[in-house]
Amino acid sequence: MRKDKPLLLVSNDDGVNAKGIHELVKVLRSIGNVIVVAPDGPRSGSSSAITSANPLSFNLVKQEDGLSVYKCSGTPVDCIKLALHTIVPRKPDIVIGGINHGDNSSINVHYSGTMGLVIEGCLKGIPSVGFSLCDHGLDADFSFSLPYIDKIVRVVLLKGLPVGNCLNVNFPAKTKMKGVRICRQTKALWVNEFVEREHPHGGHYYWMTGDFMDIEQDAEDTDRWALQHDYVAITPVQIDVTAYALFEELKKWDLNV
């Protein structure tokens, strides 16, 4: 690897063979040296899950000039942890997740394996960015998001991000985007979350599905509003989840025994 180029660590939650990560890597190779450590299959909805009860392994699947691709048996967060512990030659300049097949805006940030790995990079003190396209299709068209990804990654490499902060970038599934908006996480609710099926041998089983219910449709500062109006939604995310606003109230409560 040439030392003068930035080092980009890349993973996702759709697996090493997903179209989204291939499209992402094509853009990133023009920016620096790329190391991909991605799950060996789909891990959607992994959140920040880690694997401690089973051993983990990884294998090199491709090595070209400026690009190494590994597949890993674990979750997206496992991939980042293993990469940082034993694969990368030095601390990466940036951790990048995606491009996710599907929307990670609003409360989806909590379930997203893509954002899980981005938060892991952030916890390790590395500027980290997750990219997602609001299209679940295996063959989704990522092309219109690529110029934005190129721009955002270059700017973050140049300016850095404050420790404890990372970016959740979501693209509308549109051929024409109106530009970027800095957004807050939309309040929302998943409803009708299961489809019930009768088991041929007795009993029932349940498939997770669900309808996304917007609670604040007219709030123009939210990531959902931006996406619904054809903007790229950039939601800055922090790893300190303390609810400071609750301190004074809680301190008044008598909770001692």
Other CB atoms within 10 A of residue 9 CB: 27
The residue within the footprint of its own copies, chosen from 18, 21, 109, 126 (CB under 8 A), is 109
Residue 244 C-beta: closest distance to its own copies, Å: 7
Nearer to its own copies, 65 or 253 (CB): 253
**CB nearer its own copies, residue 33 or residue 108:** 108
Report the nearest approach of its own copies to the CB of residue 34 (Å).
Answer: 21
Sign of CA dihedral 211, 215, 220, 221: negative
DSSP alpha helices (H): ranges in 98-184?
113-123, 146-159
Residue that is written with structure tokens 């909590």 in the block: 110
Q: Among 61, 67, 88, 123, which residue interacts with its own copies (rule: CB under 8 A)? A: 123
Please, which residues have CB within 8 angstroms of residue 143's CB and are 6 or more apart in sequence? 23
- Residue 132 in contact with its own copies, rule: CB under 8 A: no
Nearest residue (CB) to its own copies, 33 versus 79:
79
Q: CA–CA distance from 109 to each of 52, 134, 170 (Å)?
A: 23, 13, 11
- Is 88 a residue that touches its own copies (CB under 8 A)? no
d(CA 216, CA 61): 45
Whole-number Å distance between alpha carbons of 136 and 41: 16
Q: Is the CB of residue 122 less than 8 Å from the CB of residue 53?
A: no
* Coil vs helix vs strand at 110: helix
Minimum CB separation of residue 114 from its own copies in Å reads 13
Q: How far is the CB of 239 from its own copies (least distance, A)?
A: 7
Structure tokens at 87: 């694969």
With H, G, I as helix, E, B as strand and everything else as coil, classify residue 117.
helix
Tokens 């800055």, located at residue: 236
* Binding string, residues 2-41; x marks residues near its own copies by CB under 8 A: ----------------------------------------
Of 5 and 197, which has the nearer Cβ to its own copies? 197
User: Is position 208 an interface residue for its own copies (rule: CB under 8 A)?
Assistant: yes
Q: Which one among 131, 142, 148, 225 touches its own copies, defined by CB under 8 A?
A: 148
Figure out which of the listed residues 4, 64, 179, 201 binds its own copies, where binding follows CB under 8 A. Answer: 179
Indicate the residue among 213 and 217 with the shorter CB distance to its own copies: 213
Secondary structure of residue 76 in the 3-state scheme: helix
Counting contacts by CB under 8 A, is residue 251 touching its own copies? yes
Asked if residue 89 binds its own copies (CB under 8 A), the reply is no
Of 202, 204, 211, 220, the residue at the interface with its own copies (CB under 8 A) is 204
Q: Are strands 204-208 and 180-182 parallel, antiparallel or unpaired?
A: unpaired
